[in-house]
Structure 1
Amino acid sequence: MASFDDFVKPYGLVDKVDAFGYLDYLRTQPDGRAKRGQVILVTADTPLKASRGEGKTTTTIALIDALRERGVDAAAVLRQPSMGITAAGSKGGASGGGKSSLAHPELVDWGLCGEMAAIENAQNLLVSFAEKAVDEGVLDTILLPRVSEVPSRALRQIMVDRGKADIPERVVLTPTCELMQIVVLSRSMEEVSRRVAAMTAGTKDGRPVLFGSFVDLWRITNMLSDAVKPAMTTTQAGSPVYVHCGPFANVSLGIPSLVSVQMACARHDLVVVEAGYGADAGAQKWLDIAAREFGAQWPAAAVVVTRATTWRDDPALRWRYPFHVRRMEGLGIPAFPLVNLWEGEDGEVDDLRRTTDQLGLRRPIIGNLFRDGGSALAAQLDDFIEVLQEGRSHGAQAPAEALRSHKGMDLVDQLRWIASSAYGVPAGRVVCGPDFMDSLAAARALCKGQGLDLNDLVPVAVKSPATMTDDDSAPEAERTVTLKKVEAHTGAGLIQVNLTKSLTTPMPKIV
């Protein structure tokens, strides 16, 4: 009889897990071989600056260390970061910090878990095939962008010399690319193959052409054979951590792969899942995309991270944190405020507790997690553990409306719903930018040419990570959300919509 270890192989200083194979194996076994772990979503306040994180990874690591100290079988699932932005120091690493960090942080922060480079190479090879198809008369335009882990302003829009005619192309960050989204969402290698075949290469005489019509897909899937496998490592305290895919919920999904979370839930009682940027970004995408449209597990609870400075530095933006916490609670998810203290802020604890009491939030969890690690949280988790135990015994689940698919709903209506539920902007103040309707019409025509209904694709908001609306400092009655551009990712089954301030190739901050 097989065991989990049979699906694990060394990959440098970490291990790689054949999650597809392991979950297939579990499906053939009698009930009871797999656990049914609860998902805990770690999200955050919208950061005051795009280049500043609130400490989600540090919190995630401290939380599982604290839970295991309390005797709970807990693990974490993190996202593999983007080397060009995160590891370069623009917003801190993605491996925690201080006592709340991974055993081998360099392997996460510098992309050495492998999938980033493999996905980048595979999508760029697809574009190379598309360029060759132009030479052979199969295509006359290329729609799939090249990707890079290292951002460059010069590459956002490029013109390739073809001799008789130049062909416009572009480059985006690896995390925002369609192939990354396919790996995040797929639950088997066969699904990866189907989705790659359905990717739009470009057009010929105005009609869309799919990669499956002219590329031998084994060339791509072979390149992804290790990229689809989550990495397995530990915290410095020895707690289990899985790392796979999906950074940057401002430019893409911003969540780890669904199969990595499903695998972790089969092995542990509690699985802490980190979602990108704030609750308006990564949490919105876990709930509205992963859980509602792709069948991922609904969170049993959420931890919403903030910094003490978030409530002090800009009074006009203080509305955002309680908005996020209350939104989670309104969806039936017990949401626990967590304040990630920095050095010199220990004296603010009493004031922070009074603030949360005045706002009617749950009793906050507060600690300097960089300095003290999980030990800062262990004694504060009584209410948290009690809620999880109650949820397990009562079979708590998402409200029916929260999981009712929006596929088939008019795309603009879906975007108005997201703006209202996730950003607090009513439908009447969602406005279309000058190029939006033309972009929408082009995407709709592209989908129609493939026999698809654009409204059946799942919307992905591409937005500034530092703002929920066009101007978060404006009075509540004046806040708006502007829709700017639409791009269909037919293989992934997603429709990317740029709104507010957004770039798919952002530049790192020099530190």
Structure 2
Amino acid sequence: MKDIEISENATLKPITKIAEKAGFTTDQIEPYGNYKAKINIYNSKSKLKEDGKLILVTSINPTPAGEGKSTISVGLGDALQSKTGSAMIALREPSLGPVMGMKGGATGGGYSQVVPMEDINLHFTGDMHALTSANNTLAALIDNHIQQGNELNIDPRTITWKRTLDINDRELRRVVIGLGGRTSGVPREDGFDITVASELMAILCLAENISDLKKRINSIVIGQTYDRKPIFVKDLDVGGAITALLKDAIKPNLVQTLEHTPALIHGGPFANIAHGCNSVIATKTALEHADYVVTEAGFGADLGAEKFLDIKTPVLRKTPDTIVIVATVRALKYNGGVLLKDLETENLLALEKGFVNLQRHINNMKQFGVPLVVAINRFTSDTDEEVEMLMKLTKEENVDAVEATVWKDGGQGAQELAEKVIENAAKESHFKRLYDNNDSLQNKIEIIVKNIYGGKNVEFSRKALNKIKQFKNNDWEHLPICVAKTQYSFSDDPKLLGAPHDFTIHVSDLNVKLGAGFIVVMTGNVLTMPGLPKKPAALNIDVDANGKISGVF
């Protein structure tokens, strides 16, 4: 049975019952129909209890074979709920770009899903649309300021604030706007990012409350004057208007799993071009209401987990009590050189060869001082010999590996994993970040490249070096680093699988995100506006005369 069919055949509980189960009062809940709700953060109550244990789920580098990180996250949450009676899941919202493009949905799979999956994967509660509108309102206000006399002396050639769209559209990467004469604006080059790459998305996910959201929005750098002084949103006096457009989007969304575990799904920055974590508000809310909170970071541990640990935890003021690294036999065989069409054939040699990818992720996560466990997301084609070898190889790294069958069995398929997570979360953690924010920008970048990616050198373009000098002069050097890099490899070359070493990372540009509170480092050929594949997932999506959607996943 397909994921969407499993979802449609499920019996969901009214969202008011799920809210009651999670400890939310009636005046904290704003239902969106029967099975979705917003949590009204403006009616927040005093903390009910001490914060729960935080479990961070990450994975090896993604492959076309699939890893199932969200599926494991949901199944683990269900298992923890059945064992402890107090668990919650905190995940990101899907973007229409991947849903209509290549990756597909992001609500788990099989019998380990958050539901209603078709709603969550499409418009949900409108957060993405609110962010898109807010982003483009700011863009319109910038251009209007220039058209109406340019009191701030903005140099149009330096404007860094792009327009956004929540769909992959390569045609909009670079555009010319303002054509049509004097009444149609000032012509200039512009471009579109996908909404999840917008600084507003990062800000929404790192803001602690509505006041912090407004403060961060006012701190956004949108360009420079003709004498090269930075221009901020506060200079335009529109921070309040932009914040107003996000007053509902800042509220976390409450849904449920197939097994009725409460789930907060909120915010959706990509981990290859942003920091890849759900909102601080949603994670904090979950920690205040559950003894165990399962959250995940986007893509592999080299991107999402590193950014979660170095960028999000200082704002969250809570570090993970344990980390789960998701791996599959299939993906590791792919890293070992097996073609996609041959992955269902047993190949112990390729598995052993590809294990180096998981090995490096294990060693990387050990640097942060948090207890680890590897979750083997088992597929039906995996042989016992392959699973046994993977468990043996992982054990040699002094880390336990636990088999999970959540796609087929839901929370029942993660009981052993849940036991290990509970055991690890009770251990003493010695968390430490990878770098000191007061290090130089170059040093911080080199630390990530050498200690996480396994690279040898960093090559900076002239443009990047000029930006580093500029940021230092503006006293922005103390910000943490958010590397924009391909998710498919430790390097900036997506074709270098396994665990490459002694390579050079090429830094082409740096962008300050002062509102979000980090510096984006552009490497390789990472695009902030992806394109659609030759056969996009949209070709499989349909809706019948009764409004029933098919083909979402």
Q: 1:288 aligns with which of 310, 319, 344?
A: 310
The count of residues paired between Structure 1 and Structure 2 equals 483
Partner in structure 1 of residue 259 of structure 2: 237
Partner in structure 1 of residue 9 of structure 2: none
Q: Does the 8 Å CA contact 1:425/1:481 hold for their aligned counterparts?
A: yes
| 1:422 matched to 2:439 | no
Q: 2:97 aligns with which of 77, 84, 88?
A: 84
SS in 1 for 2:46: helix
Partner in structure 1 of residue 31 of structure 2: 10
Q: Equivalent residues in 2 for 1:196-215 (5 A)?
A: 196-205=217-226, 206-215=228-237
The TM-score, its normalising length taken from structure 1, stands at: 0.89
| 1:440 matched to 2:468 | yes
Structure 1 residues 507 and 317, CA gap change in structure 2 (3 angstroms): farther
| 1:483 matched to 2:507 | yes
Matched residues in 1 for 2:499 and 2:100: separation?
36
SS in 2 for 1:297: coil
Q: Tell me the CA shift for residue 261 of structure 1.
A: 0.6
Structure 1 residues 381 and 10, CA gap change in structure 2 (3 angstroms): closer
Partner in structure 2 of residue 30 of structure 1: none
Partner in structure 2 of residue 37 of structure 1: 52
Q: 2:530 aligns with which of 503, 506, 510?
A: 506
Matched residues in 2 for 1:317 and 1:161: separation?
52
Structure 1 residues 306 and 108, CA gap change in structure 2 (3 angstroms): same
Structure 1 residues 120 and 53, CA gap change in structure 2 (3 angstroms): farther
Q: Does the 8 Å CA contact 1:53/1:91 hold for their aligned counterparts?
A: no
| 1:132 matched to 2:144 | yes
| 1:103 matched to 2:115 | yes
| 1:463 matched to 2:485 | yes
Partner in structure 1 of residue 16 of structure 2: none
Q: Tell me the CA shift for residue 175 of structure 1.
A: 0.8
Q: 2:430 aligns with which of 392, 398, 403?
A: 398
Letter in 2 for 1:229: K
Partner in structure 2 of residue 157 of structure 1: 174
Partner in structure 2 of residue 191 of structure 1: 212
Matched residues in 2 for 1:238 and 1:65: separation?
8
Q: Tell me the CA shift for residue 250 of structure 1.
A: 0.4
Partner in structure 2 of residue 351 of structure 1: 389
RMSD after superposition: 2.3
- Deviations along 1:150-180, one digit per CA (max 9) or x if unpaired, are 1211211111135475211111011111111
SS in 2 for 1:409: coil
Q: Does the 8 Å CA contact 2:58/2:323 hold for their aligned counterparts?
A: yes
Matched residues in 2 for 1:458 and 1:418: separation?
11
Partner in structure 2 of residue 26 of structure 1: 46
SS in 2 for 1:108: helix
Q: Does the 8 Å CA contact 1:175/1:246 hold for their aligned counterparts?
A: yes
Partner in structure 1 of residue 275 of structure 2: 253
SS in 1 for 2:54: strand
SS in 1 for 2:58: strand
Q: Does the 8 Å CA contact 1:408/1:456 hold for their aligned counterparts?
A: yes
Structure 1 residues 251 and 265, CA gap change in structure 2 (3 angstroms): same
Matched residues in 2 for 1:158 and 1:130: separation?
16
The TM-score, its normalising length taken from structure 2, stands at: 0.82
Structure 1 residues 61 and 134, CA gap change in structure 2 (3 angstroms): same
Partner in structure 1 of residue 81 of structure 2: 68
SS in 2 for 1:497: strand
Q: Does the 8 Å CA contact 1:81/1:111 hold for their aligned counterparts?
A: no
SS in 2 for 1:184: helix
Partner in structure 2 of residue 333 of structure 1: 370
Task: Give identity over the alignment, percent.
Answer: 27
Matched residues in 2 for 1:224 and 1:109: separation?
20
Partner in structure 1 of residue 135 of structure 2: 123
Structure 1 residues 474 and 416, CA gap change in structure 2 (3 angstroms): same
Q: Relative to structure 2, which stretch is displaced further, 281-290 or 213-222?
A: 213-222
Q: Tell me the CA shift for residue 234 of structure 1.
A: 0.6
Matched residues in 2 for 1:21 and 1:76: separation?
21
Matched residues in 1 for 2:122 and 2:354: separation?
33
| 1:172 matched to 2:187 | no
Structure 1 residues 159 and 257, CA gap change in structure 2 (3 angstroms): same
Partner in structure 2 of residue 372 of structure 1: 409
SS in 1 for 2:277: coil
Matched residues in 2 for 1:35 and 1:15: separation?
24
Structure 1 residues 470 and 224, CA gap change in structure 2 (3 angstroms): closer
Matched residues in 1 for 2:417 and 2:106: separation?
25
SS in 2 for 1:70: helix
Q: Tell me the CA shift for residue 506 of structure 1.
A: 1.5
Letter in 2 for 1:38: K
Q: Does the 8 Å CA contact 2:310/2:434 hold for their aligned counterparts?
A: no
Partner in structure 1 of residue 544 of structure 2: none
Q: Does the 8 Å CA contact 1:65/1:237 hold for their aligned counterparts?
A: yes
Q: Tell me the CA shift for residue 349 of structure 1.
A: 2.7
Q: Tell me the CA shift for residue 476 of structure 1.
A: 5.1
- Structure 2 unaligned runs (5+)? 1-22, 337-352, 538-553
Structure 1 residues 71 and 191, CA gap change in structure 2 (3 angstroms): closer
Letter in 1 for 2:325: V
